[in-house]
Amino acid sequence: MTTPALQEKFQTLVDEHKKILYKVCNSYCRTRDDREDLAQEIIIRLWRSFGSFDARCQFSTWMYRIALNVAISFYRREDTRTRHVLSDEEHLLNAVDETANQSEEIQVLYQFIGELDPLHKALVLLYLEGNSYLEIAEVLGITETNVATKINRLKQSMRQEFRGAARA
Amino acid sequence: MLDLDEMKQRWAEHDRKLDQSIRLNRQLLSAVKLNKARSALQRLAAFQGLEAAIQLVVVVALGSFIYDNIAMTRFALPAAALDVFAIAILIAMIRQIAGALRIDYDKPIATIQKQLEGLRVLRIRYIQGIFLVAPLAWTPLQIVALKGFWGVDAYRLFGIPYLVANLLLGLAIIPLGIWLSKKFSDRMGRSPFFQRLMKDLAGYNLNAATGFLARLSEFEDENLAK
C-alpha cells in the first residue's frame, strides 16, 4: 500500500475509533493541555506502529493497547511535557459541548477512574468498555483468572466503601 | 455511589453520546503533521546516535593516548581510568538506544511497562554514574588533556600536592552533591529539567521507578491478586 493510501486508511480508522482516544485521555489526564499532549503522543505512536498492524486483529484492541501503554508512560513521566509537535492553537480532539459529554455522573466516573493507580485505571477502563476477561487479559498481559480476581476484588471494595458511606 | 456494573451501563450511555459530540481534527492528522511528528522522532534518534559516535571517538582517542604513553605509567594510568569511564558511558548509551528501539507499544501493557521502567532505571543510574564520577575525573582529565594537547606535564606544572588536593576535593564534592540534591530537589519547581536531575541524583526517581516495577510484578502476580 502506498504512503498516501496508508495515511488515508489510518485517518479513517482513527476517526472511527476517536472515542477511545477521548476516554483514555480523560482517564489519565486532568488538564486540557495534558489531554491534548497525550492525544498527540498516542496518535504519533499509533502512526509509527501502523505499518505493522495486522489487519486480521481488531483495530480497537490494537489501539487500546497502544493508547494505554502511551498513557501509562505519559502519566509516570517525571520530566517536562512540552515536547508536543502541534502548536497551542491546534487541537486534535474537539468536543462540541464538553458539559454534554460529561454529566455529573460521568464526571464522578472519571473521578473514580482518576483516583486509581495507572495499571488499575487501564483494567477498569477496559472492563467498562465491555471487553471480556480474555480480551482484557490479552491487552494487559496478565492471565484471565487474574483479571477476574482483580475485578471481583474491586467490586467488593466498592461495595464495602458504599456500605461504609451509607452507615456514615 | 454506583457499583462497577452500574458504572458499566452509564459508561455505555456516555459512549453513545460521544459518537455525536466529539470531532477529530482530520486536518491535523494529515500527511504533513504525521510526517512532522515522525521527523521529530528521527531527529531525536539521530541526536542520540551522534552522541554515541562522539563518545566512541573519545574512547578511541584515549586508547591512542594510552598506546603512545604506555611506558609512562603516570600518564597511562589516568588515561586508562578515563577510558574505563568513557567506555562505561558508551555502553550505557548503546544499551539505552537499543532498549528504546526494542519497545513496541502494541505489545501487552505489563510487558511494555516493565521494559519502559527498566529503561528509566538504566537512564537514572547513567545520570547518577556520570555526576558521581565526574568530580573524580577532573584530575586525570587535566593530566591527560595537558599532555595530549600541549605536551605539558601536569605533575611538574602543578605539583603532586595540587593534584592530590584536586582529587580529594572531587571526593568531598560527591557527598555534598547528593546532600544538596536531596535538600533542594523539591524547590526546583520552575525548572523541570533541574528538578528531574536533582531527583535522579538524590535517588528519588530511582526509588519511584523500582517501586513501580514492584507494583507491576504484584499486578501480574495471580497469587497476590487473590
Chain segment A49-88, per-residue pLDDT in tens = 898 888 888 899 999 999 999 999 898 875 444 444 445 5
Chain segment A21-60, per-residue pLDDT in tens = 999 999 998 888 888 888 888 988 898 889 888 888 889 9
Residue B82 is assigned to a structural domain of this protein: yes
Spell out which residues of chain A touch residue B10, defining contact as CB-CB under 8 Å. 105-106, 109
Global pTM? Answer: 0.79
Residue B90 is assigned to a structural domain of this protein: yes
Spell out which residues of chain B touch residue A93, defining contact as CB-CB under 8 Å. 22-25
Residue B39 is assigned to a structural domain of this protein: no
ipTM of the prediction: 0.81
| Closest CB from A15, A122, A165 relative to B1 | A165
Residues 48-107 in B contacting A (C-alpha not used; CB under 8 Å): 104-107
Residue pair B93/B52 in contact by the 8 Å Cβ criterion: yes
The answer, for B220 touching chain A at a CB cutoff of 8 Å, is yes
Spell out which residues of chain B touch residue A151, defining contact as CB-CB under 8 Å. 4
The answer, for B224 touching chain A at a CB cutoff of 8 Å, is no
The answer, for A130 touching chain B at a CB cutoff of 8 Å, is yes
Q: Confidence class of residue A166 from pLDDT cuts 50, 70 and 90? A: low
| Closest CB from B12, B22, B193 relative to A93 | B22
Residue A35 is inside which H or E element, if any? Answer: helix A32-50
Residue B19 is assigned to a structural domain of this protein: no
The answer, for A32 touching chain B at a CB cutoff of 8 Å, is no
The answer, for A57 touching chain B at a CB cutoff of 8 Å, is no
Determine whether the interchain pair A65/B106 forms a contact, defined as Cβ–Cβ distance below 8 Å.
yes
Residue B184 is assigned to a structural domain of this protein: yes
Determine whether the interchain pair A150/B26 forms a contact, defined as Cβ–Cβ distance below 8 Å.
no
Q: Confidence class of residue A2 from pLDDT cuts 50, 70 and 90? A: low
Cell of B212: 513501580
Residue B79 is assigned to a structural domain of this protein: yes
Determine whether the interchain pair A69/B113 forms a contact, defined as Cβ–Cβ distance below 8 Å.
yes
The answer, for A2 touching chain B at a CB cutoff of 8 Å, is no
- Domain extent for B150: 45-219
Closest alpha carbon within chain B to A65: B106
Residue B51 is assigned to a structural domain of this protein: yes
Distance CA A30, CA B78 (A): 52
The answer, for A88 touching chain B at a CB cutoff of 8 Å, is no
Determine whether the interchain pair A70/B105 forms a contact, defined as Cβ–Cβ distance below 8 Å.
yes
For chains A and B, count residue pairs whose Cβ atoms are closer than 8 Å.
184
pLDDT tens for each residue of chain B, 226 residues long:
578 888 888 888 888 888 777 877 776 666 556 666 666 667 777 888 899 999 999 999 999 999 999 999 999 999 999 999 999 999 999 998 888 888 888 899 999 999 988 888 888 888 888 888 888 999 999 999 999 999 999 999 999 999 999 999 999 988 888 887 777 766 655 666 776 777 777 777 788 888 888 888 888 886 655 4
Distance CA B128, CA B124 (A): 6
Residue B143 is assigned to a structural domain of this protein: yes
CA distance A37 to chain B (A): 12
The answer, for B222 touching chain A at a CB cutoff of 8 Å, is yes
Cell of A154: 474491586
Spell out which residues of chain B touch residue A101, defining contact as CB-CB under 8 Å. 14, 17-18, 21-22
CA distance B20 to chain A (A): 8
**Residue at B156: amino acid letter:** R
Distance CA A141, CA A124 (A): 15
Rg (CA), chain B: 25
Determine whether the interchain pair A158/B1 forms a contact, defined as Cβ–Cβ distance below 8 Å.
yes
Cell of B41: 522522532
Report the domain count for chain B. Answer: 1
Chain segment B15-55, per-residue pLDDT in tens = 888 877 787 777 666 655 666 666 666 777 788 889 999 99
